[in-house]
A and B are shown apart, each in its own frame.
Chain A
Amino acid sequence: MQEMRPFLDDLRHGNIRRALTENRVFKSVFRTGYPSTPRNQALIMFNNVFLHLHPVRIRRESLKVTYTFCLGGLSFFMFLLLTVTGVLLMFYYRPATAVAYSDMKDLETVVTFGMLLRNMHRYAAHAMVILVFLHMVRVFYTGAYKPPREFNWVVGVILLTLTFLLSFTGYLLPWDQLAIWAVTVGTNMAGATPIIGEQVKFAIVGGYEIGDNTLIRWYVLHVIALPLLTALFMTVHFWRIRKDGGIAGPL
């Protein structure tokens, strides 16, 4: 009880802010004080695992919004939003041809906020394709791919490919006419690969006709394999931005 004294005193005197922040529980979570001094501004970057992605200080020009247009960051944001909405969708969606379509209908009509969830997931996916592409365009026209950032540009090209694949594998899942015919067009194109075309098509269709096997394959790719791969390459991408000295600026 003795130890609670300062806390209770603060409460009694209406000093709520201090009561809430100057106690051992709060301090166990937020070790440093409010980042309003250079010391705390640096410490918060060390001590917070999410902020640790960033350096403590960066060049002033890197802040200019008309330089990056935040496109890389927004691509990442869309990835996070897609992960959250995607996990929620997984609670309602079953990847089998007998039920997939009716699960989609249920999402739209029965599930609370189901339609909003589906809409957000779908439009965030479109947005991510656009943003990643525009991010590449911005990196190109600002010459930000040049040494020492060559490899990060290559990682970016891989991320662009993965973004297309993520989006395309998701396209099949609603199991409506739009879905299977778009995928028919796509798998036929892949089937035209020289020499190994037939094998490639068999592997991605899971047989000779688009059906249950295709659905489960594309589902697993869409919710597990490709997101993990993308996260892996994003990790390398962000790490490399740090290692290459932050984002490129004029010399």
Chain B
Amino acid sequence: MATDGNGNPLQRTSDMEGMSAADRARMYKERAAAAGLGRAPSAAEANGGAPAPPAARPAPEAAAARNARSGETARPASAAPAGTDGAGAGARTAESGAGALTPEQRQRLTAAVQRGGAGGAPAPAAAGGTAAAAASSPAAEQQQRLVYVWPHLVTIEFMASVLALLSMIVIGLVLQSPLEGHANPDRTPNPSKAPWYFLNLQELLLHMHPALAGVIVPSAALALIATIPYIDRNTRDVGKWFGTPKSAPIAWFTTWYTTVVLIALIFFDEWVGVKPLMKRIADATGITFLNSTFMTDIFIPTALMMAPMFILALLVQRIYKPDGARDWMVCLFTGFFVVFIVLTIVGTFFRGQGMHLYWPWDPRMTRIE
């Protein structure tokens, strides 16, 4: 926790010498409230703003400016109220039972119990703010919304771990892992499949150049996913499922659209086939370039991946008129998610001998060597 060390308004100071424990506790509480401790962690800090230096507390204007600079990420400034139950009781218990603690531990304890320890960095200090001024009601609400990790979270984690362990033991007892014949480089099984989580890529491999299917498309997908938070920066809808009013309908529409288009494309390549089609066209027109590897394995597959995305974007724009980046990201990510799932299912359950499409119960789904 970054509250340790410099800038901690809960440092024990020289003017506390000789005070009673209760008086010191009151002083800590006042300073905590003045420093705005107890609020959620400040976005200003998270964005790289320096914590306040120990002696020179910034003027209120400076603190406000800092919040403003952090723009949309700033949370409403709220401060720990001086007298909420948690803080008071915490400080008292911390003091009364403090015999076994080092001064440093005692100070951290006071800080943690008052502040709830939910945050990382200390909140920016508001200069000389009185406890009364700082104890706004949203802050009191926030204080009450904090719960102790022990026992609340620790219990959930413990139960989840036990359940997960038990399920893994049961699955391990019931399902036997496959172990086929000894590896033999001379006997190619038909079909030869990658592990299930790569069958989506192997499915792509059937339709396009291996560089596209195995390297470029997955790398581009991961890179695009990684940039999502740098494009969609609006924090208004953080922490809620779907968040914006339009994102759930957009996700729903994208799911159906993607599933239908994807399955149509797979059937098209299986029954008509880009290569046979281009060969016929090339033969008919005499333009051999149309039947080149570049056209059939790179250009047309790329076009067939991009075009449905553009059409999707147009449709979503027409139908839903998305409000900002979040709605667009929901559309894009849902598209990726559905493609991943559908291709994995097709590759796992519908590709049999010769990597042709079969029903899962078709005898040609079995591997032969």
Contact = CB atoms under 8 A, between A and B. Distances in A.
B76 A63 contact: no
B62 interface: no
Interface stretch (B7-15, B205-213, B259-267): B205-213
Interface string A69-99: 0100110011001000000000000000100
Nearest to A129: B197
B284 interface: no
Contacts of A246: 41, 118-119
A65 B157 CA distance: 10
Given A61-B239, A145-B228, A181-B192, A175 B183 contact: yes
B235 interface: yes
A55 B118 contact: yes
Interface stretch (A6-14, A189-197, A223-231): A189-197
Contacts of A74: 160, 164
Contacts of A60: 145-147
Nearest to B71: A147
Interface in A103-137: 104-105, 108, 115-116, 118-120, 122-124, 126-127, 129, 136-137
Contact of A123 (B168, B196, B369): B168
A176 B179 contact: yes
B226 interface: yes
B233 A147 contact: yes
Q: How large is the interface on B (under 10, 10 to 19, 20 to 34, 35 or more residues)?
A: 35 or more
A17 B157 CA distance: 26
A241 to B, nearest CB: 9
Contacts of B237: 143
Contact of B172 (A116, A140, A164): A116
B228 A51 contact: no
A39 B90 contact: yes
B360 interface: no
A123 B120 contact: no
Contacts of B194: 182, 185-186
A238 interface: no
B352 interface: no
Contacts of B196: 126
Contacts of B86: 38
A245 B202 contact: no
A38 B90 contact: yes
A12 B46 CA distance: 58
Contact of B214 (A41, A104, A157, A192): A192
Contact of B211 (A45, A197, A210): A197
Given A38-B89, A78-B164, A141 B179 contact: no
A56 B189 CA distance: 56
Given A141-B330, A176-B182, 4 more contacts: A43-B105, A59-B145, A60-B145, A188-B214
Interface of A: 31, 35, 37-39, 41-46, 51, 54-63, 65, 67, 70, 73-74, 77-78, 81, 97, 101, 104-105, 108, 115-116, 118-120, 122-124, 126-127, 129, 136-137, 140-150, 153-154, 157, 160-161, 164, 167-168, 171, 174-182, 184-186, 188-194, 197, 209-210, 242-246, 248-251
24 contacts: A31-B100, A38-B90, A44-B150, A45-B150, A51-B149, A56-B116, A58-B116, A61-B145, A73-B161, A77-B160, A105-B179, A119-B172, A140-B333, A143-B240, A146-B232, A146-B234, A164-B197, A168-B198, A174-B179, A177-B183, A182-B192, A242-B1, A245-B46, A251-B76
